[in-house]
Amino acid sequence: MPNNAGRSPWISEDKTSLMNSSHDENQARAVEKILSGEDAEMVDMTMAQLRSQKDRHAELIRRLAQIGSPKVRSRARIILRFWEDLKISENAPAQRTTDFATWEDLERFCWQLAEIESPGMDLKKSKAYMEELGVQVEMNLPQRSISPSDSIAALREVLARREGFRGNLQDYFDPANSYLHRVLETRLGIPLTLALVYIFAGQRAGLDVYGINTPGHYLAGIGGVIFDPFHGAGVMSADDLAAKFGTDRLSWANPMHLRATPRSTAERMLINLLNSYSRRGDEARHSRIVSYLQMIEESFV
């Protein structure tokens, strides 16, 4: 990986760069060019860097929010809204939110998020479907002693083969892929929300299914055995994991150090939604997701 990985090309090592002086028109044009482009990864990385240092970037972002292409203006205004939401959160009284101590807490949050973002939607069907998935998984468990492999096989048979839950390769960044109720409707999702279906259905069947917080591609596990809900719940060996994530095989001898918590999973789910709405220039929904994420973070300060 290049030494400048994770850094936008316009960020100078010199602390007297554009971020300290808006008079550097060359760098200002570079930022504008990135924000008007179609390289989603570069846009996200640049926006994250801009958001993280308000004092250095505010003048530039206010300027871009008024000039340039509609795409640039929209993305600049998303950053301004982000800062405004943080300011409101800092000045507002502390708000109580769920502790995310259990996966049940996270599931309740998913339903609450659905009610807020899809007002008027009747979630009874989705909740009943989740219950039925748990029943079907339990019925597919062997009567004898159950190994992690047996458990994963039962989950795979019901969720991947019968019900057809799979990764949405055609429209990966669709926000619907990050909402549990929509994933239950379409059977399509991204790695994290598909893993949640396996976790919630598996736990209803009495299985200790949990998330694995691997970078860039969330996985699931049972008893130390890792599997990938996005790709049909295939079991991943240490060699598979090393090849996928570009690491040494020995680092996967004990993958439990990456076991996800319900809270870290909730945060990651919201960050996925932020990225989706950022790509679409949906300022209103982006703003609401920021507020949810902020409440979670503040509750653990």
Q: Exposed e or buried b for every residue in 108-125, given b needs 16+ CB within 10 A?
A: ebbeebbeebeeeeebee
Q: What's the pLDDT band for 300 if we cut at 50, 70, 90?
A: low
Alpha-carbon 159 to chain mean position: 21
Q: What's the pLDDT band for 59 if we cut at 50, 70, 90?
A: confident
* Nearest residue to 60 via CA among 19, 94, 7: 19
Name the pairing type of β-strands 166-167 and 188-189.
Answer: parallel
The residue extents of the domains of the chain are 18-91, 103-298
Model confidence over 229-270: pLDDT tens digits?
Answer: 999 999 999 899 989 888 888 777 777 888 999 999 999 999
Q: Exposed e or buried b for every residue in 38-49, given b needs 16+ CB within 10 A?
A: eeeeebebbbbb
- What span, in angstroms and rounded, lies between the C-alpha atoms of 294 and 274? 12
Number of Cβ within a 10 Å radius of residue 139: 10
Please give the pLDDT value at position 88: 45
The kind and range of the H/E element at 138 are helix 124-139
Among 78-82, 109-113, 158-162, 291-295, name the one with the lowest average pLDDT: 78-82
Please give the pLDDT value at position 225: 94
Q: What's the pLDDT band for 3 if we cut at 50, 70, 90?
A: very low
Residue type, 158: V
Model confidence over 95-134: pLDDT tens digits?
Answer: 444 678 999 999 999 999 999 888 888 899 999 999 999 9
* Nearest residue to 291 via CA among 272, 268, 274: 274
